[in-house]
Chains A and B, each alone.
Chain A
Amino acid sequence: MQLKLKVWRQKNAETKGEFKEYQVEANEHMSFLEMMDVLNEELIAEKEEPIAFEHDCREGICGSCNMVINGRPHGPIKATTTCQLHMRSFSDGDTIVIEPWRSEGFPIIKDLIVDRSSFDRIIQAGGYISVNTGQAQDANSIPVDHEDAAEAFDAATCIGCGACVAACPNSSAMLFASAKVAHLSKLPQGQVEAESRAVSIVNQMDEEGFGRCSNTGACEAECPKEISIENIALLNRQYFKSILSTEKEA
């Protein structure tokens, strides 16, 4: 299949970016990133600079890849990362527009690569259970309800790609943050720090320049791991419970 690509090119954070057009021949069995590889090999053969993009596992789990394809983070197929998207989802003659994530919290580094270290800092602010190595009791001494474990798992499958932020009109990171809060607080082990965790995570999110949630639901729609927006409600409950508790504040 013959495709026309319009790709965002930007040398670095200081220079202005622009769309550039390319022609590429692909076949339906290729993954989207393999199609990009083919284009890059052609660019290199012509001694042009290849398009810089983030990728690694190419199995939809590391969370590296991040392209906005035809206006949608990770492209047109539901619950699919860019690397798992295959060219059979496109047709001969299509024009495909490829952009990086765009958000104040994710400054552009080069071409399609953005800086997502803000997500690390959100986790560092409290996205963990404070237990040192070697302190744990026998694993089966903490029974966990089957459903609770399944719900905690569902929230924990977040890959930290940032599609939720890219999809959100307010650039809010609430889905990402709430997934971690929900994962940990649905388990008995995570209860102890549940309230303080919610507050520190929300504060860090604000500090990073992410916007507020206005319940548009775009994040859930575009999340490649189908993380539920219900987690945001849970985060809000915990956050308010914590800040309204005067004891904690003192």
Chain B
Amino acid sequence: MINLDAKIPEGSLAEKWTKYKGTMNLVAPNNKRNIEVIVVGTGLAGASAAASLGELGYEVKAFTFHDSPRRAHSIAAQGGINAAKNYQNDGDSVYRLFYDTIKGGDYRSREANVHRLAEVSTSIIDQCVAQGVPFAREYGGLLANRSFGGVQVSRTFYARGQTGQQLLLGAYQALSRQIHTGSVKMYNRHEMLDLVIKDGKARGIIARNLLTGELERHSAHCVVLATGGYGNVYYLSTNAMKSNVSAAWRAVRRGALKANPCFCQIHPTCIPVSGSYQSKLTLMSESLRNDGRVWVPKNMEDVVAVREGKLEPNDIPEENRDYYLERKYPAFGNLVPRDVASRAAKYVCDEGRGVNESGLAVFLDFSSAIERYGESEAIAKGLSTKDKSKIIELGKQVIAKKYGNLFDMYKQITGDNPYETPMKIYPAIHYTMGGLWVDYNLETNIPGLFALGEANFSDHGANRLGASALMQGLADGYFVIPYTIGQFLSNEIRTPAIDPDSEEFMAAEKDTQERLQKLMNIKGSRSVESFHRELGLTIWDYCGMSRNAEGLKKAQKKVQELREEFWSNVYIPGEMNELNPELEKATKVADFLELGEVMIVDALNREESCGGHFREEFQTEDGEALRNDKDFSYVAAWEWQDGEINLHKEPLEFKNVELKTRSYK
């Protein structure tokens, strides 16, 4: 078994990071100029890392498969970013953010990493404001906050429903500045297809120029992967179409470990599936649960009438509605964490109370909020609160200010107007907590290979709280890697530039060339897309919102068979040496077909329920997750050796929080 040393620094929890920063090894400015760093991915984590490392003086090469760094999927994050600023004076603190994150993650993350995340969260907001990120403001000119699921304070900073866009543009602009000065060399439309290891250290990548199809060898002193999550293994997800696992998976194929791959987040508020042609699912921000109330009809006759279009949801009287989150979880109500809210929606739909044709949807209703806001506006404007239609009109204006773009998006996609009738929503895959195993330095078990943001596993445990992905991506990129990378690079100052024509690079290029050739030569009869759809459905059915041993075993066999068929029957049109979107898809799906099996094996191994991982065999009497801290309080890090899947464990120690059953009741 590989010894997984997390390299957690000495000292009390609150002092670890500060002390460590003050004593870690540095690279002098004159040496930085001779050290090259490859950063793959230009989302929040990648762009902020590349920009910050460039500012420090390293020679950075940044890679994205997009036509521009600004297109990374971080851009689609809607709701906000958490920080323990306590600007609202509501009792927030670094410790509370740390505690909420550990608890929200159902006690399956690493204490020291999470505390550091909470510590640097405040600097992120400072940095972003200085860059010109136009966060929402109060009338006095100071920053505004809102609440997200799983917490009882307001610590979420936001820019309407486009927070991810604004933060990414901030990082993109910082990156653009470094590209302009020449400290970062940007490779757009380049996809990493392999990792190159030389003398046991990560020293470069093989990238395909997507315009010409040409393979290129790029070398550096170390490699940073900030390549996002693997939610698209489910085919239908809220991820962008091209989001994929390949860079991380290629690292796994070269010896890195995939940690907790079965920890996937299912977001409770997405627009339901409408047909078999569907290519992706669209999220409706969690921030909507601040003001929206989730319900289904109490009576089956109402359910049937709604589905048949004979009854409008607004005509169902209050007493015949089941606001099931408020009923089951009075303390947190509609703002319970995502995993809890998703499962609750599944339960009411399993009972047959789903409100659309497929029976897989619940209502998210804004009528109470519209009335509430309307009344307070009327009072503020000195108007009568008796004029109901005026109040509704004013209330709609407030809602439009807060969520206008989300409401418009909903209307465009569904054709329904959510100002007039409740939204229909259903859970969908949104984020993956699992990822490459990293230590406290964010370094994988391969020396010189780092993983940041959603691509690593370390901070969110078995469930991520809302508005924490943006926080983690930027924490890793702006404030962690610029320090911790020095621990590795300070030993490399005497290493001359790595030769991209050396044996290891040539061999890796040849491997990639042969793999692509093999794919092109299959010339079978099924499209890449059809394999991806089938894989996604299998993983969703058996390794989705709830899992059981029997189903997982069935799914493992199905995935193995599908993989075999893929490698003998896929059809890829076009040529290798040109822009070929189908070939790009094929390499991604090939990797998903391997990762999918590892997810299933991980889910099968983890005989407990925690966070997003719900094993039906392990639940309390009232259907809540039943954790097993005695046997499963560890990180499951998986090794892939030519299809053989081996487990390595990193025990999790909790010295500062008491392990409790998570309760939001």
Contact = CB atoms under 8 A, between A and B. Distances in A.
Contacts of B479: 133-134
A156 B73 contact: no
B240 A56 contact: yes
Interface in B83-139: 85, 87, 123, 125-132, 134-139
Contact of B180 (A45, A49, A84, A125): A125
Contacts of B174: 128, 131, 133
Interface string B199-211: 0000000000001
Interface stretch (B270-278, B421-429, B456-464): B270-278
B188 A120 contact: yes
Interface core residue of A41, A77, A84, A156 (most chain B CB under 10 Å): A156
B106 to A, nearest CB: 29
Interface in A36-73: 37-38, 41, 43-45, 47-50, 52, 54-64
A137 interface: yes
B279 to A, nearest CB: 5
B438 interface: no
A81 B408 CA distance: 12
Contacts of A55: 241
B277 to A, nearest CB: 5
Contacts of B70: 63, 120, 160
A123 B176 contact: yes
A153 B275 contact: no
Given A61-B76, A133-B482, A153 B160 contact: yes
Interface in B155-181: 159-160, 162, 165-166, 169, 172-174, 176-177, 179-180
Nearest to B129: A139
Nearest to A180: B173
Interface string A139-150: 110111110011
Contacts of B262: none
Contact of B134 (A54, A85, A116, A156): A156
Contacts of A109: 211, 579
What size tier do the contact residues of chain A reach?
35 or more
Contacts of A30: 275, 277
A168 to B, nearest CB: 20
Nearest to B126: A136
Given A109-B211, A136-B126, A139-B85, A34 B278 contact: yes
Given A41-B529, A125-B180, A130-B177, A119 B240 contact: no
A241 interface: no
Given A129-B131, A133-B55, A119 B141 contact: no
Contacts of B52: 132-133
Given A41-B527, A62-B76, A156-B169, A142 B134 contact: no
Contact of A116 (B68, B137, B530): B68
A189 interface: yes
B380 interface: no
Interface stretch (B342-350, B501-509, B570-578, B626-634): B570-578
Interface core residue of B51, B52, B143, B176 (most chain A CB under 10 Å): B176
9 contacts: A38-B277, A50-B573, A56-B71, A59-B283, A129-B131, A133-B55, A149-B137, A157-B165, A187-B132
Which A-B residue pairs are the 7 nearest by beta carbons? Answer: A143-B141, A136-B130, A128-B173, A136-B126, A153-B134, A139-B129, A133-B52
